[in-house]
C-alpha cells in the first residue's frame, strides 16, 4: 500500500505501512498514512478474510496527494479502479475515514473482478457492490448521476431491511455476486422486503402457480415495474399483488403491471400510488368484514 505525493512535476512514493507517526495535510484534511493502512487492512480482513490476496493491498492500492489538494472538474472523482493497474484514491476531498471508505469502494471492484462477475455486470450492479462495501466502512454517499444514483438508492433500500442487514457481510456479499443487472438487484430488494415485513409474496406465489418458470417470470416483471420505486411504493405494489385472487391468470397479473408502467409514463405528474391502486382494483379480493347485529 503506497502513497504518492505529487507536486511541481515531482513524485515521491511512501510505503504507508512504514510511515510511522508521519502526518500529511492535503487541503483542509489531516491524514496519518500508517493509521490509514492499518484501518484498511483491518476492514478488508473483516469483510473478505482470506479471499483478499495480500498482493492486492501491497501492490494494487495506491493513495495519492495531488498538488492543490482536491481533484478538479465536474467529473472528478475521489477514487478509480482499473482492471489493469488496480485502485487509486485521491486525498483531499474526504477526511481520513471517508478516504478509507473510498478505498473499500475501489477494492470491492477488485474483488468483484476476481470473483468473475465484474465483466458480466452492468454499471448499476458494479457500483451497488462497491457502495455496499463502502457502507460497511462507514461511508454513505448520495449521487445525482447514473449509474450511481440508481445503485445508491437500491443499496440504501436493501440496508433499510433487517432481513438483509442482520446477515454477516460475507453472506450479503455472496448474494450480490450472483447478480449481473439492475433488474436482478431490484428483485433482491423485493425479496428482502417481503422477508423483512412478511408481506406474503412468496406464499402467494406458491398458491398462485406451481410452475417455477412462471414464478420467475412474474418476479422479473415485478422487478422491471418497480425499478425506480421507493420502498413505500414497492411495499404498496406487493401488498396489492398478494390481495389478488391466486386463481388470477398470470397473463392478467402481467397486464396489470404493464398498465401501471404505461399510465405512469403517460401521466408523469399523477400520483403513482393512486395509479397502482387503480390498476389493481378490479382484481382484488374484498377484505372480510364483521357486522355487528343488534
Q: Which of 115, 131, 154 is the last residue of a domain?
A: 115
Using the 8-state DSSP alphabet, how is residue 69 labeled? S
The tens-digit pLDDT sequence of the chain (294 residues) is 999 988 777 888 999 999 999 999 998 999 999 999 999 999 999 999 999 999 999 999 999 997 665 554 433 568 999 999 999 999 999 999 999 999 999 999 999 999 999 999 999 999 999 999 999 999 999 899 999 999 999 999 999 999 999 999 999 999 999 999 999 999 999 999 999 999 999 999 999 888 899 999 999 999 999 999 999 999 999 999 999 998 899 999 999 999 999 999 999 999 999 999 999 999 987 655 544 444
Of residues 280, 264, 261, 284, the one with CA closest to residue 272: 264
d(CA 193, CA 199): 8
Q: What order do you get walking across the sheet with 61-65 strand by strand?
A: 10-15, 2-7, 61-65, 86-91, 79-82
What pLDDT score was predicted for residue 54? 92
- A 10 A CB-CB count for 221 gives 18
**98 plus 129 within the same structural domain:** no
Q: Residue 68: its pLDDT value, please? A: 62
Cell of 222: 415485478
Boundary of a domain, candidates 90, 115, 140: 115
Q: Residue 70 has what pLDDT? A: 57
Calpha distance 33→256 (Å, rounded): 57
Is the domain of 100 the same as that of 32? yes
- The whole model's pTM is what? 0.90
| The residue to which cell 450492479 is assigned | 125
132 and 108 in a common domain: no
Query: Do residues 227 and 189 share a domain?
Result: no
Q: Take residue 27 and report the three cell numbers written for it.
A: 487541503
CA distances from 12 to 4, 32, 253 (A): 6, 16, 63
User: Please, what is the angle between helix 212-225 and helix 250-266, to 10°?
Assistant: 10
User: Of the candidates 115, 148, 179, which is a domain's last residue?
Assistant: 115
Same domain, 130 and 215: no
**Nearest CA-CA partner of 186 in 232, 257, 234, 141:** 234
- Rounded to 5 degrees, what are φ and ψ at 213? -65, -40
178 in the same domain as 147: yes
Question: Are residues 8 and 91 both part of a single domain?
Answer: yes
Domain range for residue 77? Answer: 1-115
Number of folded domains in the chain?
3
The pLDDT value recorded for residue 77 is 67
90 and 8, same structural domain?
A: yes
Q: How confident is the model at residue 75, as a pLDDT? A: 37
Same domain, yes or no: 105 and 58 = yes
- Same domain for 110 and 133? no
Claim to verify: residue 111 and residue 131 sit in the same structural domain: no
Query: Which parts of 56-164 are beta strand (E)?
Result: 61-65, 79-82, 86-91
Amino acid at each position: 500500500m503506497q502513497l504518492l505525493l505529487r507536486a511541481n512535476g515531482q513524485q515521491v512514493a511512501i510505503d504507508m505501512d512504514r510511515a510511522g507517526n508521519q502526518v500529511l495535510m492535503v487541503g483542509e484534511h489531516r491524514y496519518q498514512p500508517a493509521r490509514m493502512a492499518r484501518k484498511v487492512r483491518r476492514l478488508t480482513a473483516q469483510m473478505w478474510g482470506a479471499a483478499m490476496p495480500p498482493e492486492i493491498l501491497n501492490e494494487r492500492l495506491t493513495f495519492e496527494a495531488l498538488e492543490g489538494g482536491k481533484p478538479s472538474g465536474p467529473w472528478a472523482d475521489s477514487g478509480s479502479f482499473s482492471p489493469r493497474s488496480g485502485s487509486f484514491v485521491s486525498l483531499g476531498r474526504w477526511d481520513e475515514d471517508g478516504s478509507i471508505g473510498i478505498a473499500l469502494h475501489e477494492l470491492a471492484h477488485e474483488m468483484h473482478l476476481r470473483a468473475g462477475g465484474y465483466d458480466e455486470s452492468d454499471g448499476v450492479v458494479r457500483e451497488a457492490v462497491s457502495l455496499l462495501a463502502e457502507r460497511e466502512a462507514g461511508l454513505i454517499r448520495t449521487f445525482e448521476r447514473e449509474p450511481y444514483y440508481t445503485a445508491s438508492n437500491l443499496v440504501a433500500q436493501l440496508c433499510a431491511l433487517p432481513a438483509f442487514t442482520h446477515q454477516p457481510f460475507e453472506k450479503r456479499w455472496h448474494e450480490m455476486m450472483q447478480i449481473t443487472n439492475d433488474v436482478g438487484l431490484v428483485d433482491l430488494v423485493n425479496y428482502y422486503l417481503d422477508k423483512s415485513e412478511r408481506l406474503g409474496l412468496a406464499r402467494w406465489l406458491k398458491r398462485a402457480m406451481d410452475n417455477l418458470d412462471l414464478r420467475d417470470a412474474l418476479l422479473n416483471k415485478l422487478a422491471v415495474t418497480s425499478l425506480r420505486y421507493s420502498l413505500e411504493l414497492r411495499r404498496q405494489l406487493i401488498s396489492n399483488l398478494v390481495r389478488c385472487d391466486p386463481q388470477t391468470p398470470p397473463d392478467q397479473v402481467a397486464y396489470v403491471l404493464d398498465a401501471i408502467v404505461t399510465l405512469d409514463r403517460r401521466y408523469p405528474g399523477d400520483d403513482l400510488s393512486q395509479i397502482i391502486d387503480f390498476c389493481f382494483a378490479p382484481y382484488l379480493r374484498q377484505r372480510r368484514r364483521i357486522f355487528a347485529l343488534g
